[in-house]
Amino acid sequence: MEKFDSIALTYYRGAMGILLVYDVTDESSFNNIRNWIRNIEQHASDNVNKILVGNKADMDESRRAVPTAKGQALADEYGIKFFETSAKTNLNVEQVFFSIARDIKQRLADTDNKAEPSTIRINQPDQGTGTSSLAVQKSACCGS
């Protein structure tokens, strides 16, 4: 992980969504998820969307090192979605990408709806009297 830290930090800054992927046949990859989440919390924006993904779900149960319930419990602990996928068989791969795209789109829409209007309307008819009035809305820019 250390040799990729500086590259990863660059990606965190502008990330809108992050997929945290581990190998269900490799417990150490699962255990590293907490380290990745710490890095995300330190370097990414607070509202970045995250999904936990356990890959190689097509593998025989005898080779599985991380039970589905353990992956779900970790996702629940961090309040993020959880999927098990198989890149080999294409199990849930599209669902993961569509899910994070929908979540990002919804977050951006919610942010836009909460944003303070920055429109200035001058000399619009006053609806009650038919006379003109000056309506200025406070700009969200520069704290004014």
* E strand intervals along 75-131: 81-84, 120-125
- Report the predicted TM-score, pTM, of the whole model to 2 decimal places: 0.75
Over the stretch 80-126, which tens digit does the pLDDT of each residue have? 999 999 999 999 999 999 999 999 999 999 988 877 565 555 665 55
**Local confidence band at 134 (pLDDT 50, 70, 90 cut-offs):** very low
Dist. CA 53–CA 38, nearest whole Å = 17
Domains of the chain: 16-112 (3.40.50.300)
Q: Per-residue pLDDT averaged across 10-38, rounded?
A: 95
Per-residue CA distances from 24 to 19, 89, 119, 127 (Å) = 15, 15, 52, 64
Dist. CA 21–CA 51, nearest whole Å = 8
The reported pLDDT for the residue numbered 138 is 47
